[in-house]
Amino acid sequence: MHAIWAILIEFLLRLTFGMAVAMGLTPARWVTSGFFRVHLWVLMGINTFAALWLYSQRAAVDVISPGLGMWLVGLAIASAVISYVGAVIWMYEQNGAGKTAIGLVAASAGLGCWLISGAGMKSSLPIGQWLLLQLDWLPGSLVIGGVTTAMLLGHWYLNSPGMRMEPLYRLLLLIFFALALRGLWSGAGLAAEVLHRTADHAPTTQFWLFVALRWLAGIFGPAALTWLTWLTLKIPNTQSATGILYAGVILVFIGELTSRLMSMTTLFPI
């Protein structure tokens, strides 16, 4: 589904899924419960906005795939409600039930990403192209969610300086993994796109400029900043590390949004 409003909704769903996964991988025994409570409120706000925006656009969504609009509205509402319930659970420091709520938010957002990725897709596509398009949301979600959650956790160390460093290192490892997966996925898509184009429709200079922006901002830049963050934590200096991660968030947002905008004119994810 390639439209500006669809790209916005898809981005919010990917951010929700990625943040929920990253929060789920953050060990509660080393991080205060307030971190999970506050950022579930953040996810509640994101999905409330997504539900309202989707409701206003449901007619346009249904043109592409009948009934999809209300499905996505329902999933966004479910994510918002579960986020609120989960925040209340974390208020009472019920770690097990709280992690279950986070997992349900991830499942709801992931289903939304799956549905919106497949909307309007031709059933006759080759299996390789179908997989690249249908599952493109997964590595993208892990990148933006991992970097954003790591930045938020780094900021949390300013409120609770006595926390151990292991949770932040774990999220940095998640980011390295997500960026490697994203690089492989987008690299396969870029190669397929270039090979598919004929001599009459060869990639233009503008195309390569957008590819450069997408890769420098969305993959190489965040990888370098994540490595710098790792080295900074060795000092240790969580405040400087958080500042580096702020820059990483800006870069991955630019990179992933550029990728989605390019998807309006390409056959493969880049």
Average pLDDT for runs of 10 along the chain of length 270: 75 97 96 96 97 86 82 96 98 96 98 88 82 94 98 92 92 98 96 83 90 97 98 92 97 96 89
pLDDT confidence of residue 6:
78
Name the residue with tokens 């630019």. Answer: 254
pLDDT confidence of residue 236:
86
DSSP alpha helix (H) spans, the chain: 4-25, 33-56, 58-64, 68-91, 95-118, 127-134, 137-159, 166-196, 205-215, 221-233, 238-262
pLDDT confidence of residue 259:
94
pLDDT confidence of residue 239:
92
Coil/strand/helix, residue 237: coil
Which residue type occupies 123? S
User: Hey, what long-range contacts does 172-176 have (CB within 8 A, 24 or more apart)?
Assistant: 172/226, 172/229, 172/230, 172/233, 174/22, 174/25, 174/142, 174/146, 174/150, 175/143, 175/146, 175/147, 175/150, 175/222, 175/226, 175/248, 176/223, 176/226
Domain layout of the chain by residue ranges: 1-120, 125-270
pLDDT confidence of residue 131:
92
Q: Which residues of 220-257 are buried (b: 16+ CB within 10 A; e: fewer)?
A: ebbbebbebbbebbeeeebeebbbbbebbbbbbbbbbb
pLDDT confidence of residue 199:
62
pLDDT, tens digit (0-9, with 9 covering 90-100), for 52-92: 988 888 887 777 778 888 999 999 999 999 999 999 999 99
pLDDT confidence of residue 265:
86
